[in-house]
A and B are shown apart, each in its own frame.
Chain A
Amino acid sequence: MSNPILVVENLRKYFPIKEGIFNRTKNYVRAVENVSFSVNERETFAIVGESGCGKSTTGRSILRLIEPTSGNVVYNGIDVLALSNKELRGLRKEIQIIFQNPYSSLNPRMTVKKLLSEPLENNYKLGQKEIQEKVESMIDKVGLSRKHLDRYPHQFSGGQRQRISIARSIITNPKLVIADEPVSALDVSIQSQILNLLMELQKELGLTMIFISHDLNVVRRISNRVAVMYLGSIAEIGETEDIFNTPFHPYTEALLSAVPSLDPMVKKKRNILKGEIPSPINPPIGCVFQTRCSKVMDICKKKRPELIEIDKNHKVACHLY
């Protein structure tokens, strides 16, 4: 099982903030701060956490759609950050990303047919007929109609666009997919259809997935391991069932208390976090969660807790442990 296909070490992304008439960089948004994890072949590795905590930035940095500030990304033994642009393009055959926002990621001037056949044309020597077959079978799999192939992205509903974007990402049979909120715009039945499709690809073709999502029910259902992020750092990481059954970090606990019930009639009392969210420009000394933590101690304001293993494969960054 532990055969990592991707290793991320001490990944950092600082966005410069330019100010004043000389446009000087005065400060940085520390969107991703020292993030390390590895993803095993054929597994689904989920990343969850508060809106704005750096999940998408982490995902994009792995593929260098955003250049990371520092750190290491090793995919299948390849040092990704050392690759030339040309080599990087080659790698993008194997690693695909499903963007959070299909509205801005699909080229508005391409028909669906073009959007789906383009990645095949670019990367494989396939005949027109084979391409057409692949495109048609993919469009069926994501629950759209072949009649839709000549339409442009703006002629679809939000959920239909999201499915076009998924189809485009998986049509080349990538080895690793970074899926950023891939099913957020889908009704539950189609969501299930897409999740079943991804799980099937995993079984048949050995697909590995990084799955970024706010839907904790979905995450619990489909992922093997989870990383919980808070303000740019990993607060807790471990096997999915361990995280959901015995969350250690106070942030994870608060997050899980807010999971909506699967029965729409059960109204849960949600535990809304109180307290200021600290600035990613000047994160506090000590633990980044201290301003909202119900169990905060003196040491939390002085020293940043390190991510340490406190149970088998279960790591947490919190002074309580």
Chain B
Amino acid sequence: MDNILEVKNLNIDIVENKSTKSLVENVSFNVKRKGSLGIVGESGCGKSITAMSIMQLLSHPLKATKGKIIFNDGSKSIDMREANSNIMRKIRGKEISMIFQEPMTALDPLFTIEEQIAEVLKFHTDLKKVEMKKLVLEMLTKVGIPQPQRIMKNYPHQLSGGMLQRVVISMALILNPKLIIADEPTTALDVTIQAQILELINDLRSSYDTSIIMITHDLGVIAETCEDVIVFYAGQIVEEGNIMDIFHNTSHPYTKGLINAVRSLGDKETELFTIPGTVPVAGEFSKGCRFAERCGEAMAICREKEPELMEISPGHNTRCWLYNGGDTNV
């Protein structure tokens, strides 16, 4: 198998006030070995919970209710949804690691930076104390933390936002995992340090054959690090393909809207472009296309029937009636 990860028909539900709503619906994608997959999409559309479900980190009231998450490290293949917590603990941090969107979710305010990074090493290796210290220091240097000797003795509140983000990146990279799930890894970093981190991630890929899932709002970061992209909207994949497909043959009106919003930043005269309206709340999707309310190209059928994810050219899929026979199908 040449995929390190295969997610098939994943559903994530939320149980609230005795009713069940679906937050992520029927999501399937593959991450190629040594490959890099970018995930973009509207804020709140389900990117982070999809990532957490891969790591089996969802907790009540969120639950993955359907689907398979097959991780194949090259020699064996396991379905993460069926793995017990013992196996998962061994996999997390070592085989697959996650860079969390908000650094403080992964850090404990009561421990120093050194103690927290060393904890990962303690659990997965039997390195001696001095060796651990050396590794921690090396890793902090690689992510561009100035005076790592001093900073590793600090507590989280003594670090700036971007320094914390780099600490969390160090924790995720220190054991050279086979798959890295990076959830908004560079949002708190200035452009020069961002460039350095992306270079580091690209280096890891070529030296250790690491695969990456990169969740980000920054289309420039996607263009720089990813080969394939999936676009999420309201808990579904609405478009997927390689970066040329997504950026140069953009098909779905939502993806087009995102790209327009980026472009409009360059024009000081007009109001910034936004996609009109707001994303529907989970459990209240209308019967047609979930984007129809906000779509400038919506047709009659769009409000009636939900479009399927359809292949429009090899490897390039889109969930939109414009590419699917349109009104003639009603």
Contacts and interface: CB of A to CB of B under 8 A. Distances in A.
A264 B223 contact: yes
Given A264-B219, A277-B146, A52 B188 contact: no
B263 interface: yes
Interface residues of A, number: 64
B271 A196 contact: yes
A156 to B, nearest CB: 7
Interface stretch (A121-129, A167-175, A253-261): A253-261
B325 to A, nearest CB: 28
B279 to A, nearest CB: 8
B41 A187 contact: yes
Given A101-B102, A159-B43, A272-B196, A264 B188 contact: no
A8 to B, nearest CB: 19
Contacts of A195: 272
**Residue among A180, A220, A262, A276 having the largest count of chain B Cβ atoms under 10 Å:** A262
Contacts of B266: 217, 221, 262
B162 A270 contact: no
Interface string B275-303: 10011010000000000000000000000
A164 to B, nearest CB: 11
Interface string A185-204: 11111111101100000000
Given A189-B42, A265-B247, A51 B262 contact: no
Nearest to A193: B274
A321 B106 CA distance: 46
Contact of B161 (A101, A220, A281): A101
Contact of B191 (A104, A140, A214, A267): A214
A21 to B, nearest CB: 15
Nearest to B199: A272
B30 interface: no
Given A156-B44, A188-B217, A214 B223 contact: no
Interface in B188-214: 188-196, 199
A147 B280 CA distance: 11
Contacts of A258: 191-192, 194-195
Contact of B146 (A52, A144, A147, A191): A52
Given A15-B158, A195-B272, A261-B220, A188 B192 contact: no
Nearest to B164: A101
A140 B199 CA distance: 40
**Residue among A49, A100, A147, A188 having the largest count of chain B Cβ atoms under 10 Å:** A188
B278 A143 contact: yes
Given A158-B101, A192-B272, A192-B273, 20 more contacts: A52-B162, A56-B160, A144-B278, A145-B278, A148-B281, A181-B161, A186-B217, A187-B40, A187-B41, A187-B217, A193-B272, A195-B272, A196-B271, A196-B272, A214-B191, A216-B191, A217-B266, A255-B191, A264-B223, A279-B150
Interface of A: 15, 48-52, 56, 100-104, 140, 143-145, 147-148, 156-160, 163, 180-181, 184-193, 195-196, 214, 216-218, 220-221, 254-255, 258-265, 267, 270-273, 276-279, 281
16 contacts: A15-B158, A52-B159, A156-B44, A158-B101, A158-B184, A160-B43, A187-B42, A192-B264, A192-B273, A214-B188, A221-B265, A221-B266, A260-B220, A262-B263, A264-B223, A265-B223
